[in-house]
Amino acid sequence: MNDFLKNIFVWLVLGSIIFLVFNNVEPSAPRETISYSQFKQEVLSDRVSEVTYKGDQMTIFGQRLDGSKFKTNHPIYKSDPVLDAALQENGVITSYEEVEQPSVWSQLLVGAFPILLLLAIFFFFMRQMQGSMSGRGGPMSFGKSKAKLMEGGKVKTTFKDVAGCEEAKQDVQELVDYLKDPTRFQKVGGKIPRGVLMVGPPGTGKTLLARATAGEARVPFFSISGSDFVEMFVGVGASRVRDMFEQARKNAPCIIFIDEIDAVGRSRSQGMSGGHEEREQTLNQMLVEMDGFEGNEGVIIIAATNRVDILDKALLRPGRFDRQVQVNLPDALGREKILKVHAKKVPLGPDVDLKRLAKGMPMYSGADLANVINEAALLAARANKRVVTMDDFENAKDKVSMGPERRSMLQSKEQIELVAYHEAGHAIAGLNVPSLEKLNKVTIIPRGNAGGYAQYTPEEHMPRRREHMKARLVTAFGGRAAEEIIYGDEGVTGGASGDIRQATAIARQMVEELGFSEKLGHLYYGRSGFDPYMGPTKEISEQAAAIIEEETRDLVEWALGEARRILNDNVDALHRLKAALIEHETLSAEEVERVVAGEELHRPEEIDDDENGTGSSGFLPQIGAGSVSDGGSAAGGAAPTTAFDPGK
């Protein structure tokens, strides 16, 4: 409202100036300009009816008998007796008009108008520059901090809004206590950490936790991204760092949060060229500013990154980022709490079990869980439902992880039968090995790039035994073995390419890293070096590399042979499971076990909608199918999935 009133005032002043200027300009009607001799001749010829002498009588305005008007100038500074006599003789109306002299103020205003206009333009640009310096943006803002300031008390996020990272909240609780009562620590000579580095995978809630810390302490909160410091102009980043810390000192006690600090804090020893001077200057200025704080100034820096390994060591030394807070992926209890937080505004159906949903989504981050909740709500709205049901959540999990359904991918009967045998092979192989990964669902409905897939739920926080990893190898080759048994060697497709890639990664990990090779012993042959030009390197001999290749091959071939043996012993079950998949498209783990045992499978009803024509329950999405992480599950937030690739 203040800006609105200021604008009105400015326009009123400008309008007044324009009115005064134009008010002093007399509008004149168009007149013919003639010479003085012509004017004199017309008077002598009695063609003039009226004459007006204006001002100093040097300007003459006249009107003829025919009504036309003219104007002329008196060439001499004395009267003309001949003209005066003719005017009197012909009865010409003669008048004298004095010109009203403008006031001194009007003359000053008219004369100073150009100067006032230039001053107005000058002050306009000065205000723009002042606005940019105060953080409102402008033509001179590139040297100022882009940190967004939220005043104390305006940050509404608290620890109640953060779930799934209880240990991390305990680590930052000390910061809150200090900001609320710094004298408590000063009495005993204690100093709060100047910087806290939050480390964890993407989507685990690092930014949310930092905001909640400011909300709990009710102090100003500066938020900025690491990339905002880096510009093409030399010295801009360092200038923004100085400005940010200067603002923080003025608002102390406060919190500065730098998201993705690895954008500016990358190690100065890395890189292939010397074109990083601007980034290094920015980093050096940040190091200086952090050292420049006095002990208990009340300014705490919180930074977040998921690449702590590439940060400069100078940032991590004591006195700068004194403390690292691990914000890891939530466990089952944490996932349940996160689901409850995000489901507060979602009307849930009576069949929704958030605890079961949480257990069925290992390796999921908080962002993944929030996305599943949102997709479930969208699916329910699309179906004109009043509440979100369990089926909506299950469909949402598959849609988020694997993509939308693509029923048009498998059009022929032969294709559907091939995929059914492939996925049935995975399921039967997995049921006959001592695996920690429980079968969750099997489906032949294409999603994303997968023509069908079998999903497994891994046991969390369980040690990786050799027998369990070998069981994963056998399960991965169940699809390829089923194709060989049903169609023969010549009828095998390339649909198991992802399974082969996954099995190879598992076998190589067993040989190189976990010490499960008798020939290599208990040595580590994983990646042990880093070359700035070649990337990760392995410092192993050619002999050791050959043995690794041989041992990996032996494990893979053993797994394929074991999968063939299991499926040959269960051919009848393979055919029954294939038929059930073709009929129902998706089977839960309980239904798979019933079909394999030879029981009849009857469903009370088949749910058929746009997203999923199954009524399966308890299945888990796959994000990044076929990839293997160090934790023994598919990377990106889901359980291992064996998928059929229709493009191979």
Q: What span, in angstroms and rounded, lies between the C-alpha atoms of 149 and 321?
A: 22
**CA separation for the pair 87, 95 (Å, rounded):** 11
Q: Which residues pair with 62 in a beta bridge?
A: 51, 70
423 flagged as catalytic = yes
CA distance 642 to 469: 15
Give the whole-angstrom CA distance, residue 388 versus residue 379: 8
- Tell me how many degrees the CA angle 237-238-239 measures, rounded to the nearest 5: 90
| Class of residue 80 by CB neighbours under 10 A (exposed 0-12, middle 13-18, buried 19+) | middle
Residues 115-154 as b or e (16 or more Cβ within 10 Å = b): eeeeeeeeeeeeebeeebeebeebeebebbbbbebbebee
Distance CA 219, CA 208 (A): 15
- The residue whose two tokens read 């100034």 is 297
User: Facing residues of 73 across strands?
Assistant: 59
Say which of 423, 484, 551, 562 is annotated catalytic: 423
Q: How far apart are CA 18 and CA 283, in angstroms?
A: 54
Give every CB contact of residue 399 below 8 A, 6+ residues apart in sequence: 375, 379, 405, 447, 611, 621
Q: Could you tell me if 477 and 563 are in contact, meaning their C-beta atoms sit under 8 angstroms apart?
A: yes
User: Does residue 253 have a cis peptide bond before it, meaning omega lies within 30 degrees of 0?
Assistant: yes
Which of 510, 518, 497, 384 is CA-nearest to residue 450?
A: 497
The total number of residues written for the chain in this structure: 648
Residue pair 473/506 in contact by the 8 Å Cβ criterion: yes
**Strand 148-150 with 221-225, pairing:** antiparallel
Q: Which residues of 358-379 are buried (b: 16+ CB within 10 A; e: fewer)?
A: bbbbbbbbbbbbbbbbebbbeb
Residue identified by tokens 């009226």 is 50
Residues 539, 547: Cα–Cα separation, whole Å: 15
**Which class for 316: exposed (0-12), middle (13-18), buried (19 or more C-beta within 10 A)?**
middle
Neighbours of 356 (CB within 10 A): 14
Helix intervals (H) in 55-94: 81-89
Catalytic residues: 423
